[in-house]
Structures are given as structure tokens and as C-alpha cells.
Amino acid sequence: MESVSPSSSPVISSNKTPSLTLEEWNGSSPTKLSKTFTIKASSSSFSIHRSGARFTHVWRRFLQAFVPEGFPSSVTPDYVPFQIWDLLQGLSTYIRTMLSTHALLSAIGVGEKSATVIGATFQWFLRDLTGMLGGILFTFYQGSNLDSNAKMWRLVADLMNDLGMLMDLISPLFPSAFVFIVCLGSISRSFTGVASGATRAALTQHFALQDNAADISAKEGSQETVATMIGMALGMLVARITIGHPLAIWFSFLSLTLFHMYANYRAVRCLALNSLNPERSSILLQHFTETGQVLSPKQVSSLEHILPIQLTSWSSKKTNSLDTKVRLGTRISSFDEIEIKEHLLSVASYYTKAKYLLVEKKGIVNVIVHKDSSSADVLKSFIHALVLANNAYKSKSLHSDSQTWMENKYEVFIQKVKSLGWKTERLLSSPIVWRANWIHQPSAEKID
């Protein structure tokens, strides 16, 4: 046998040269990426292939300054229609601001030789001072209700802004009452600032699907900046055209105001909030008791009312709403001795395991909240109160029947609500400032 030396072993050679392929992808979301470059490199060659049009990349980069990262998957579906109507109403506001400011400055005396600087300064200072005090007063009385009725207060904020600008526009027509009218307008706009800022924060949290509330807020600032610049340019043009023509000024102002109110109404109607407040809870429960099914946030949004003032014919649906028959967080001291014996003592046995007491009095279900109750307990107490109010004229044993419903159907109701995207962690309502504690001792039965 011949031996083969290592030097005579076969050598395997390859002509394949090393190469590298690099791809560049662009996009703010992993699910929304697009290929922009493909680079192929080897020791003997190098090539670059551009994917897509250059204009597309530039446009995408431009949009990133105005829409949240990961758009549209990072926001709720109602974000786009709301922002469109919101920007349109903002545009009309900036144009009207130019007209009202022009009228206000003319009334103060800007451009007139007889006007004094100190007089104009004092009037402007008094206007701002009343606005600041009005904002504090509004926050004191209504600040805690803005979360639970964000849609309505968003609409109210813009209506108050319209009223404030109207005051500025009519101020020159009444020289003797000029300061009073201007101060009223400033107070009206101060309500706008508080309500609009607070409700905007609530809506931003609603839009954010990826904990990106700060990004949404920043991009909205960019959108408003562009709308402001366009509105200022158009406002100066309208003011220039209508100067010296009172009829044209009023026609422009009122036309823009009507459009502003319509755009705000459409913007608020686009919102499909998934938080539970008293009215939305009432709508959900009434539909569930009638059909056994639960409505989605979008379906409920078309049923809830958003206008601050309801005409009788429009409010018939609202008057039948169960939430108007429930008073959450009732004070114990509001009951007298007879009411405590007739109402509280007789129903206490039904709520020995609950963190609340329900007392039906004169068609109103009063909810007495325990001092140790949690957010889940408050929500449960309100739903229980709605069930009790719904059965007020259908059953003689109200508390027994409602307790049976809660034991058999409450968890089913909550699970169905949660499965459709509703937030069931808490009830958005006015803060509960009155709570109670109680110890119920049942009467001892004598056994023979």
C-alpha cells in the first residue's frame, strides 16, 4: 500500500469572491417600512440601487414633522377626522381674531392723537386681569368635571371663545360701556383657555395607542403653528379688504363664526371615547338589558349628547337616560331621622358585602360610597344604581331584584364591555368628596 504524504493531498480552490449586500429601510414603525437603498459590494464591483421615488422620501420626511411617529397605527381611528375639523375651526378662529383685534385696538384709541398711552395700557391691563380671575373661578367650579364630559366641554370652550370675540367686535359700538364689554369678553375667553387645555389633555390620552401622548401633543403644536400662519395671512387680507366697510366686516365675522361652530360640532362628533362616564355607562346598560349585547365606543358616540344646552324636543332621549336618576356620593347628613329609619335601615341588609349603599328616594337613587371603596367599587356601585333606577317602576322588590341581577349578570356585562375596547378600570365622574362608614347589625330572631 502506498502512503500519501500531506504535501500530496488534493487542494480545493474556489474562485468565489466575498460580497456584501446592504439594504436601507425607512419608516417610524416596524410594520410600516419601505426599502430605499440596496448596496452590493465586492472586491471587484460596487453598485447602488435606489428604491422608490425621491419625492416619496421627501414627502414622508415632511409628514414626520406633523404626524405622530408610527402614524397611523400609533393613534386611534378618530384622530384624523378630528384633527381635520379641528384645524379648519382653528383657521376660522385666527381670521376672526384679526377682525376682532382690529376693532378692539380702534376702540382703545390706537392711531388717534387724542388717545393716551397710559389710558390704553390701563384698559388692556384690566382686560387681562379679569380674564385671569375668570379662569381661576371657572377652574374652581368646573375643573373636576372636565374629564367626565370632555366632548361637551370641548364644544363649550369654542362657543365661549366665539362669544369673547363677539364682545371685542361690538365694543366700539358702545363707548360708554367699552371697558365692561371688553372685560366680559376676556372672562369668556378665559373659560375657553381652561376648558380647551384640560379637555385637550384628555383627548390626547385617548388618541395615544402606544404611550405617545407627548409626541401627539408636540405634533399638534406643529399643525397649529401652520394653521396659525395661514390664518394670520388670510386674516390680514380680510381685514385689509373690509376696512371701512362695517357691513362686510360683520358678514365675514358671522359667516366664519357659523362655520367655526359647525366645524367644532363635526370634530366632537368624530370622537369615539372608550372611557366610561355616567351617560355612556347608562347607554351601555340600557342596551344590554334590552338586547343582551354591548355597543361599541363608535356606536355609543352617536347616541350620547354633546350640546351644553338641549332644546325640549332634542332632549327627550336625555331625560330618559338613567344617569340623570342617580346621585353618586350622597352625604349621610342629607337624610333626616325619618328617612334613615325608613330607607337606610330597611336596605342595609342587602349591602352587607358591598362597599356602598343604595337608597331610592323620590325617584332618585342615592349612592352612599364607603370610605374604603376602590375605583372598581365606585363603578360597580354606579352600575348597580342604574339597574335599580331601571327597575324603579317595574318591580316592587327593587333591592332584591337588582341584587340578583348584579350577582348573575354584572360580571358578564363587564367582560363584554371590556372585550369591545372599553376601559373598565374606573368611572369618569365628578369627584366623590363625601364618603361614609357603617356597621350593620341584623336583628336577633327569637327561637322557641
**SS3 sequence, 59-96?**
HHHHHCCCCCCCCCCCECCCHHHHHHHHHHHHHHHHHH
Residues 171 and 255 in one domain: yes
Residue 51 domain-assigned (yes or no) = yes
Domain that holds residue 347: 280-305+320-427
Q: Are residues 180 and 230 in the same domain?
A: yes
Average pLDDT over residues 107-131: 63
Kindly state whether residue 237 falls inside one of the protein's structural domains: yes
Q: Give the model's pLDDT for residue 446.
A: 42
pLDDT bin (cut points 50, 70, 90) of residue 124 is low
Mean pLDDT of the chain, nearest integer: 81
What digits encode the pLDDT tens for the residues 66-87?
Answer: 888 878 788 999 999 999 999 9
Higher pLDDT, 420 or 348: 420
**93 plus 27 within the same structural domain:** no
Least confident interval from 112-121, 164-173, 215-224, 408-417: 112-121
* One domain for residues 390 and 334: yes
With respect to residue 107, please indicate whether it lies within any of the assigned structural domains: yes
Q: Is the pLDDT of residue 57 over 80?
A: no
What is the per-residue pLDDT for 395? 62
State the total domains in the chain. 3
| Residue range 239-298, pLDDT digits in tens | 888 888 888 889 999 999 999 999 999 999 999 999 999 999 999 999 999 999 999 999
Report whether pLDDT(417) > 50. yes
432 in any annotated domain:
no
Same domain, 50 and 87: no
pLDDT for residue 183 is more than 80? yes
Please check whether residue 71 lies inside any domain of the structure.
Answer: no
Co-location of 300 and 238 in the same domain:
no
How distant, in Å, are the alpha carbons of 276, 330, 356, 385 from that of 359? 23, 10, 10, 9
27 and 132 share one domain: no
Sign of the CA dihedral with 409 first, then 413, 415, and 416 last: positive
Per-residue confidence (pLDDT) for residue 386, from 0 to 100: 94
Whole-prediction pTM: 0.77
pLDDT per residue over 333-368, tens digit each? 888 888 787 778 878 888 888 899 998 888 889 999
Grid cell locating 179: 371697558
300 and 261 in a single domain? The answer is no
Based on the fold, state whether residues 23 and 139 are members of the same structural domain.
no
